[in-house]
Amino acid sequence: MTVRTPDPDWNPDDEPVVRPPVNPGWLSDLELAEVRGRLPLLYVEAVPVRVDGLGQVTEVGMLLRANAVGEMTRTIVSGRVMYGETVRDALFRHIEKDLGPMAFPLLPASPVPFMVAEYFPLPGISPFTDERQHAVSLAFVVPVTGTCEPRQDALEVTWMTPAEAVTDTVRAELEGGRGTLVKQALASVGALP
Amino acid sequence: MTVRTPDPDWNPDDEPVVRPPVNPGWLSDLELAEVRGRLPLLYVEAVPVRVDGLGQVTEVGMLLRANAVGEMTRTIVSGRVMYGETVRDALFRHIEKDLGPMAFPLLPASPVPFMVAEYFPLPGISPFTDERQHAVSLAFVVPVTGTCEPRQDALEVTWMTPAEAVTDTVRAELEGGRGTLVKQALASVGALP
Amino acid sequence: MTVRTPDPDWNPDDEPVVRPPVNPGWLSDLELAEVRGRLPLLYVEAVPVRVDGLGQVTEVGMLLRANAVGEMTRTIVSGRVMYGETVRDALFRHIEKDLGPMAFPLLPASPVPFMVAEYFPLPGISPFTDERQHAVSLAFVVPVTGTCEPRQDALEVTWMTPAEAVTDTVRAELEGGRGTLVKQALASVGALP
Amino acid sequence: MTVRTPDPDWNPDDEPVVRPPVNPGWLSDLELAEVRGRLPLLYVEAVPVRVDGLGQVTEVGMLLRANAVGEMTRTIVSGRVMYGETVRDALFRHIEKDLGPMAFPLLPASPVPFMVAEYFPLPGISPFTDERQHAVSLAFVVPVTGTCEPRQDALEVTWMTPAEAVTDTVRAELEGGRGTLVKQALASVGALP
């Protein structure tokens, strides 16, 4: 199974909301490939949720996607933080990229993630793997209030109850060990079954 | 200066959203006075904030109120958790009580407070005092998206920038040491100047 | 199965480290029974853990105990916060009560719990139940560095790996829904399998 | 005033505890200079503290150092996460580098930082600046139990009370806006005066 952190960095739709102040810092494919073996890359991830009127999580959103070899896999919102971009801007940009412009996410007031997920090329160092790179991801639970229309390579967003989201079946479909991240997300909001 | 935690428990408008399952547990004034010297009481508090489109805190809301001796003091949303009531229900109920039904608060997905504030009758044990009782308060930062119309004994809600909210003047007007709590709230969302 | 929150409040060994400043606030059995139907009671709970040199959780400690009807049940460190006692003092006192004076716990620098667990007499309101009362518990993960010798009604402390601690067998033995709390504890430290 | 994030990456004493699995990923000065204008770099930072027997913070440790132009500045433990290195390993390595091998730090069980500090070359985007680069730092409060002997370019470790640590004088001496980070650290442990 291919485990990859999505990184559609050079899509023209995908530019940061706030332009980097000095140097755009966009990397070519070749440069990124080069840097990936040298440095940990900084990512943001979001577990999209629906909440009720009291803020309690009722559903978890998962992206369905065909991977490089045509298998269907599930994932969450995920992407790289660019040079000059704030974590908050990156989070907003990737949510819009993956859930569409009508998702109306409620970004958290606190910049502290519910978890720091460390992805290594080789398994066993942490629960998370990414064969392409060493990535460190700041992961947030983000309530969305609008309509999600996945863009780019995602096929659809599936909404599940917390109980459905942590089944072994779903867990096996989540790439790179993100089944554990979804459980940690639900635990952080008191919704782990 | 009178330092008191607001506790307008017997106002008929003030009943919990969800009725306690077995025993209402309402206490008479006399019973509450009795219990106050015997047990720590559980409170919830909310620092109301305005956020921008990226979730970043731009303003802090403070309640202005005349206290028992006619002095103007500031406070935040605060009140007791009733028997049989969830923390989340209590938080919603007290926000509605203090900010009105059109405040449209966004309660946090996580039930973990940014701070546990411990109020003791005598100063020096913690930064917080409440001459009436030993109260332990779960304090949350709560974005509000609607219009705030203070009810009951509060006169108005004043919106301040984070920088204004932590000045010595405002701090001195906040009862029971809540100036420290407001600073902790702003620190937790990365907005402490 | 009996689900109860331990509350051996009147054991003479069990007095708070810091004496309440004004009024001891000790309740007789009768008074406590009375108050239990009227107010939520404030508890602290600790999930004892062993950590390696880098702070990573390697083992979880569980108390084994015979309950009122002679069944063996598992639980974690748990107890009431007294009038005039700080949360930190209560946490230390109950850890010493349940793990003995040589446990050498490392209390967290932050007073913010990893979870606020709400115990209701009737199931369905939250994952946690306590047939005796409505209790709200501030739950902490606490590394212990010494030797644990359970006192009072606990028979022994069993150390388990995180994977063992979340099996269905152990979960079924944990009273009042604390299997969920142990999972939340492990999730909060990135050790949920 | 020079504001820089310390980065003594090529000191031979300074190698990560766990060797990167595939590719060491060490960068030459030239390569690092190149990458610094293209990508946000991942850092860890630690605010060293002394705690009492109940875990409460009593003192904050600050490093005193002469900067490139010979001015005395203060800072906290800070350094880059290497390719293949866990956040926890990086934190341990930089604490040992800055406080010496006898500091005996108690690394937190939770991998979630108290704050994500974003350093930009230009001021105004966040409270933190680093003229050399865009760095994103995971900041932790770390109790130390041993003796601190600063190595490398630091001259000494000064222990201050929380009240001393947040004075305007100390704040002005802290480089890159870290006075705000120290305040956030103290707020997160309930010790902000």
**What's the pLDDT score for residue A136?**
98
**What's the pLDDT score for residue B152?**
67
Contact partners for chain B, using 3 or more CB pairs closer than 8 A, are A, C, D
pLDDT tens string C33-89: 878 888 999 999 999 999 999 999 999 999 998 877 888 899 999 999 999 999 999
The Cα B84–Cα B77 span in angstroms is 21
| Cα dihedral across residues B84, B36, B174, B171: positive or negative | negative
Contact partners for chain A, using 3 or more CB pairs closer than 8 A, are B, C, D
Q: If you write DSSP's letter for every residue of A97-115 in order, what string do you get?
A: HHH-TT--B---S----SE
The Cα A55–Cα B105 span in angstroms is 9
Q: What angle do CA B67, B71, B72 make, to 5 degrees?
A: 85
Q: Across the interface, do C143 and D89 touch by the CB < 8 Å criterion?
A: no
pLDDT tens string B54-86: 999 999 999 998 877 888 899 999 999 999 999
Name beta bridge partners: D128: D119
**What's the pLDDT score for residue C145?**
96
Question: Which residue out of A47, A112, A184, A188 would a mutagenesis test of the C interface target, given it has the greatest number of C Cβ atoms within 10 Å?
Answer: A184
Ranking A100-114, B110-124, D145-159 by mean pLDDT, the lowest is D145-159
**What's the pLDDT score for residue C191?**
96
In eight-state DSSP terms, residue B144 is: B
Ranges of each domain in chain B: 39-188
Cβ contacts of B116 on chain D, cutoff 8 Å: 190
Local confidence band at B25 (pLDDT 50, 70, 90 cut-offs): low
CA proximity to C185, closest of D144, A190, A178: A190
Share above pLDDT 70 across residues of chain A, in percent, rounded to a whole number: 85
Cβ contacts of B113 on chain C, cutoff 8 Å: 112, 116
Cβ contacts of B41 on chain C, cutoff 8 Å: 39
pLDDT reading at B17 higher than 60: no
Share above pLDDT 70 across residues of chain D, in percent, rounded to a whole number: 85
Mean of all residue pLDDT scores within chain D: 87
The beta-strand segments (E) located in D33-184 are 41-51, 57-66, 72-75, 77-80, 115-120, 128-129, 135-143, 154-160
Task: Look up tokens 């940990």; give the residue.
Answer: A40
**Domain A39-188 carries which CATH code?**
3.90.79.10
Q: Across the interface, do C82 and B40 touch by the CB < 8 Å criterion?
A: yes
Minimal Cα–Cα distance from C86 to chain B, Å?
Answer: 7
Minimal Cα–Cα distance from B4 to chain A, Å?
Answer: 27
Q: Across the interface, do B22 and C121 touch by the CB < 8 Å criterion?
A: yes
Local confidence band at A30 (pLDDT 50, 70, 90 cut-offs): confident
pLDDT tens string A55-105: 999 999 999 988 778 888 999 999 999 999 999 999 999 999 999 999 999
Pick B189's closest partner by Cβ from A53, A57, A110.
A110
Tokens of B83: 């028997």
Local confidence band at D34 (pLDDT 50, 70, 90 cut-offs): confident
**What's the pLDDT score for residue C87?**
97
Other CB atoms within 10 A of residue B131 CB: 14
The Cα A83–Cα D147 span in angstroms is 39
pLDDT tens string B163-188: 999 999 999 999 999 999 999 999 99
Minimal Cα–Cα distance from A90 to chain C, Å?
Answer: 24
B103 vs A7, residue with greater confidence: B103
CA distances (Å), origin B11, targets B5, B162, C35: 16, 33, 22
Burial class (CB in 10 A: 0-12, 13-18, 19+), C83: buried
Mean local confidence (pLDDT), D11-21: 43
**What's the pLDDT score for residue A27?**
72
The nearest alpha carbon in chain C to D104 belongs to C53
Local confidence band at D27 (pLDDT 50, 70, 90 cut-offs): confident
Report ipTM for this prediction: 0.86
- Provide the whole-model pTM: 0.88
pLDDT reading at D161 higher than 50: yes
Tokens of D99: 């406080």
Q: Across the interface, do A184 and C180 touch by the CB < 8 Å criterion?
A: no
pLDDT tens string D167-192: 999 999 999 999 999 999 999 999 99
C53 vs B29, residue with greater confidence: C53
**Which residues 6+ apart lie within 8 Å of C129 measured at CB?**
C3, C119, C120, C121, C122, C123, C176, C177
Minimal Cα–Cα distance from B114 to chain C, Å?
Answer: 7
| Length of chain A in terms of residues written | 193
Contact partners for chain D, using 3 or more CB pairs closer than 8 A, are A, B, C
Mean of all residue pLDDT scores within chain B: 87
pLDDT reading at A50 higher than 50: yes
Buried-state track C44-59, b at ≥16 Cβ within 10 A, e below 16: bbbbbbebeeebbbeb
pLDDT reading at B1 higher than 50: no
The Cα C110–Cα C107 span in angstroms is 9
pLDDT tens string D63-116: 998 877 888 899 999 999 999 999 999 999 999 999 999 999 999 999 999 999
Question: Which residue out of A39, A45, A80, A125 would a mutagenesis test of the D interface target, given it has the greatest number of D Cβ atoms within 10 Å?
Answer: A39
Ranking B22-36, B96-110, D116-130 by mean pLDDT, the lowest is B22-36
| Residue spans of chain C under pLDDT 50 | 1-4, 6-24
pLDDT reading at B45 higher than 90: yes
The Cα C106–Cα C124 span in angstroms is 34
